[in-house]
Structure 1
């Protein structure tokens, strides 16, 4: 563990990077939740069933899966800054396409927009988390959950925005067009500062800079002794080989299972919670959006307290407690006889869902030279969850109802708890923490 004295001395450039990166996380959350909180409106406007909506949502997961498989190699090859600038522009195109699709009531165009939106999500998720891990190493303490808390703050704002727009009967296309312009411009403004620590700058106040993953890949190559700046073809080959090797690491795969479970939990809430509230309890779209806001707000609270929780309990016990609380919340929501009690269940579900992703991603990034490829591997598991869950859950929702279907996520919580020992620190991270 870092000493208190070291924890209080954070270099100015690290503080600037941290603040900018917090902003990028918040914008990512806002854009996602503002759209997802209005899925009941999408279903109504397009006149589709729950099963059809689930199939449509799958296209976004397909895009994310296609992108996340190569995202680690992309970040290692081109760097976080270039990747995030590119994904910011793609986000603008994707969100505007979604707005145009709903304005014209075109399902094919919506499918295209969702696919591209999935691509930009994957190309955002990997670099922002590897940069968050760099900030965490620079500060010498567990702060990953605070970045995810800021994502949740953005998600709360996005859910509230969606609820307000639904209440005021603001057209969803208008909401999406404004979101594309605002979030896209803000992201492009923040990216240069947010990625400063992964461009060779110092990350911990010492004279040892962060290892560039491209250099690490070159050093692993038998011919790397010739030069530390190999030709582009060799750099590309080294990045691809490093990404392939990460898939054969048992620890990385187990961490991926934790991310899969966490993604099922968070993604199911985002996609189906508003519909479950509306169909299961007869609530209006605005009320359903507020329930989703409760979920994201409870996650935000726990993530804000994450550094203290993780430092006190350790990574493994944090996952065990989180899975248990999420299970209680899921069962309460799915089986409660009243809307009020179900709402309390949503609160507990959010508490339990808060820390699994940040803890797992921190574990995947324990060794900075391998962080991009390992983070891309574990986030691939999350994309698989997003790909498989919508169609399966859509069919189940048609059969047994959305509220009861959500209780099946308890199985994922059991998997997360079983895989929790894999998140124990390794390498230099093991010297900063006891568990």
Structure 2
């Protein structure tokens, strides 16, 4: 009992700290993404050109992700999160400079740095979250990702308010960068203590190469990719689709994105109970069907209220795919860093392929019709849902 009491306090502090990392990550991301239409107008970009600009952030993430697992294995999640935050903040400042001066190359370079930082930050905080989840002995990842969603709601509302007040996007990004670094410099001090055996384990390698050869890990990655594509398409294109496809004002479109994220947040908050009752596979399959119905409703909506109802279903259906994928990858704590790194690398391919793919299709068909590409990707991903079944104790041991 004494040991349990002693370890409970730092574990609870670590839970709050890693939740903070998720919230700030979402806030920093949404403060930019909710004002993509303003960035497009500032740089005078077409839909295809905007898709290429958005590709920069995905390229940065995909380049960083394969290296993040071994890096976090060596330096620990706390330093990994803080380092990623600093790099992402530097990228936001460079992006702000590019938008303020109208230089597309500077904006693209800034987004690439944001991608490197956010990708590293994302993997490190998911590894920490999985470790805290294992320590607590209860489902935690959906709530942590709900924290990310709450952060995106706050960031989206900030974007909507800034757009309504005509507050310069460049200044908004600079403020966001400073807030993110400050918050994470404090929060990461309360992460779980580094494993004393980590240095010894590192001598034998991080296990990433082995994880790339595991069928279950790869299938979990495909499933997570599909849900990331479903979520990421809304992140990149929902506001633009409301403006260009449904003729909505930019400030209202930002609120529409906030509605999508709010639906994701609500489902993630109750996700633990849903998963405990119905299991990972059933919840993912029902979520996938819900996302399909929501996306179809959003695309074909004759009026704004119907489009917003579609956004609610879209967000609710996409909500649990990514956190469940991260939990499944981390079922075995001894191999969590390697497997989370691999699953993240696969899933972030959605952010690499998604923006330009939808952008080029939108150039020919319009952005609303281009979003139907998501249905194909999601259908393929759902075929891999069975891979998320928890490992048997004998396998974990």
TM-score by length of 1: 0.87
* Pairing 1:366-381 to 2, within 5 Å after superposition: 366-381=331-346
Q: Deviations over 1:189-226 (max 9, x none)?
A: 11121x215x13xxxxxxxxxx85554454xx5xxxxx
Conservation of the 8 A alpha-carbon contact between 1:216 and 1:369: no
Q: Which moved more, 1:87-96 or 1:116-125?
A: 87-96
For 2:240 and 2:385, the matched residues in 1 are separated by 31
Q: Deviations over 1:265-314 (max 9, x none)?
A: 11110110001001111110001101100000000000000110110110
Conservation of the 8 A alpha-carbon contact between 2:24 and 2:148: yes
Pick one of 160, 163, 167 that aligns with 1:166: 163
For 1:217 and 1:248, the matched residues in 2 are separated by 19
Alignment-derived partner of residue 196 in structure 1: 192
Alignment-derived partner of residue 34 in structure 2: 37
Pick one of 316, 322, 326 that aligns with 2:291: 326
Pick one of 151, 154, 159 that aligns with 1:154: 151
The 1:212/1:404 distance shift into structure 2, 3 A limit, reads farther
Equivalent residue of 1:11, what SS? helix
- Structure 1 residues without counterparts, runs of 5 or longer: 1-6, 201-210, 222-237
Question: How many pairs does the alignment contain?
Answer: 394
For 1:119 and 1:212, the matched residues in 2 are separated by 28
For 2:197 and 2:372, the matched residues in 1 are separated by 43
Conservation of the 8 A alpha-carbon contact between 1:323 and 1:416: no
Pick one of 287, 294, 299 that aligns with 2:264: 299
For 1:329 and 1:50, the matched residues in 2 are separated by 23
Conservation of the 8 A alpha-carbon contact between 2:74 and 2:202: no
For 1:79 and 1:45, the matched residues in 2 are separated by 39
Pick one of 354, 360, 367 that aligns with 1:389: 354
Alignment-derived partner of residue 281 in structure 1: 246
Conservation of the 8 A alpha-carbon contact between 2:294 and 2:313: yes
Alignment-derived partner of residue 231 in structure 2: 266
Alignment-derived partner of residue 128 in structure 1: 125
Q: RMSD over aligned Cα, in angstroms? A: 1.9
For 2:331 and 2:254, the matched residues in 1 are separated by 37
Equivalent residue of 1:341, what SS? helix
Alignment-derived partner of residue 24 in structure 1: 21
Alignment-derived partner of residue 87 in structure 2: 90
Equivalent residue of 1:169, what SS? coil
Alignment-derived partner of residue 108 in structure 2: 111
Conservation of the 8 A alpha-carbon contact between 1:212 and 1:369: no
Conservation of the 8 A alpha-carbon contact between 1:366 and 1:427: no
Equivalent residue of 2:348, what SS? helix
The 1:140/1:263 distance shift into structure 2, 3 A limit, reads same
For 2:284 and 2:305, the matched residues in 1 are separated by 27
The 1:404/1:214 distance shift into structure 2, 3 A limit, reads farther
Q: Which moved more, 1:150-159 or 1:133-142?
A: 133-142
For 1:28 and 1:400, the matched residues in 2 are separated by 33
For 1:212 and 1:341, the matched residues in 2 are separated by 55
Q: Which moved more, 1:407-416 or 1:172-181?
A: 407-416
Conservation of the 8 A alpha-carbon contact between 2:260 and 2:315: yes
Alignment-derived partner of residue 144 in structure 1: 141
Q: Which has the larger radius of gyration?
A: 1
For 1:350 and 1:173, the matched residues in 2 are separated by 28
For 1:287 and 1:114, the matched residues in 2 are separated by 25
Answer yes or no: is 1:358 the counterpart of 2:323. yes
For 1:334 and 1:89, the matched residues in 2 are separated by 38
Answer yes or no: is 1:418 the counterpart of 2:383. yes
Conservation of the 8 A alpha-carbon contact between 2:79 and 2:188: no
For 2:199 and 2:241, the matched residues in 1 are separated by 46
Q: How big is the shift at 1:185?
A: 0.7
The 1:331/1:9 distance shift into structure 2, 3 A limit, reads farther
Pick one of 182, 185, 202 that aligns with 2:182: 185
Q: How big is the shift at 1:12?
A: 1.6
For 1:345 and 1:321, the matched residues in 2 are separated by 16
Q: Deviations over 1:159-198 (max 9, x none)?
A: 00000000000000110111111111111111121x215x
Equivalent residue of 1:346, what SS? helix
Pick one of 308, 323, 344 that aligns with 2:273: 308
Conservation of the 8 A alpha-carbon contact between 2:59 and 2:352: yes
Equivalent residue of 2:251, what SS? helix
